[in-house]
Amino acid sequence: MDKLYSIGKSNPRMAAMLLLFGLLMASLEIAGAQIGVCYGRNGNNLPAPGEVVALYNQYNIRRMRLYDTRQDALQALAGSNIDLILGLPNDNLQSISSSQANADSWVQDNIKNHPNVKFRYIAVGNEVNPTGSQAGFVLPAMQNINKAISSAGLSNQIKVSTAIDTGVLGVSYPPSSGAFKNEVLSFLKPIISFLVNNNSPLLVNLYPYFSDLSNMNYALFTAPGVVVQDGQLGYKNLFDAILDAVYSALERAGGSSLKIVVSESGWPSAGGTQTTVDNARTYNNNLIQHVKGGTPKRPTGPIETYVFAMFDENNKSPDLEKHWGLFLPNKQIKYQINFN
């Protein structure tokens, strides 16, 4: 401390430059650390998990979303310092919701047995149909997993949530009028209360691609100016408009304090309308840069975001679902992308 003070006194300009440089580097580190990539494994030609983790490190991808608990991936992540969203698959929800002992065993097997993995969130279910047969299992499963995490002394490190899609919105335009469908409120409101009480974020899978392709500049972050004016707020891209519509819906449902983590977003490179390599490159590169800031409604960023997906997955259907990867299964990058 004395040395730093003496430098500041003898050369204030140098001290100011060092301070600004330090703040810049800190801000770049914080911004860069917000981006993750989803590691889906629904393919028969994908590289081994150890090679995948090495690829994340090679490209400085510091966060990962996994959709299941296959042990080879968890073992490969040990010591990697990659932050992880770990999925509890939908077909496990009933078992976990029905028994605290089952939840305790799940946490023991998949969390506590991997002390060198940096778990960040547990996603209890992914895009569960709010009016379907599994809907009633989601909140009890979240509660049981949360109890197990708390009993393990990990509640300050690992937050429990679930991932929803934006199909739960009944109103999305303008963003300030965002509201959930009436028929999903009985499903979502108790989950929102759980998240608020436990200071956990809501995970949202957010795809402009599936929302509106009528204005491609608006969808790809390339509009030269405001496209949608919503009161005092101007929207230049569809991503922000959808995200702020979800924030507005949360406010109407008792979740005004919640933070949203964008747990999936991306653009396919083949298989459907406007699915070109150029559009995928444009969207994903612009997404990575854009989420360093906030939205018009929530301007304080960055927005923690996970790009979908790491690889093309050939076991998916229809054909559109096969082509979301940033990388080919042979680990070759599909197009130039800057994760920084």
Q: 127 catalytic, yes or no?
A: yes
Q: Alpha helix locations (H) across 221-291?
A: 238-252, 277-290
Count the alpha carbons within 13 Å of 68 in the hemisphere toward its beta carbon: 10
Q: 264 catalytic, yes or no?
A: yes
Residue 125 near residue 162 (C-beta atoms within 8 A):
yes
Residue 174 near residue 136 (C-beta atoms within 8 A):
no
Per the residue annotation, which of 29, 264, 304, 313 is the catalytic one? 264
Per the residue annotation, which of 51, 127, 313, 321 is the catalytic one? 127
Contacts of 117 (CB under 8 A, 6+ apart): 74, 77, 78, 80, 84
Residue 172 near residue 252 (C-beta atoms within 8 A):
no
Distance CA 206, CA 83 (A): 20
The three-state secondary structure class of 15 is: helix
Distance CA 160, CA 155 (A): 9
Q: At what angle do helices 185-197 and 135-151 cross, to 10 degrees?
A: 10
| Phi, psi for 104 (deg, rounded to 5) | -60, -40
Which residues are catalytic, by number?
127, 264
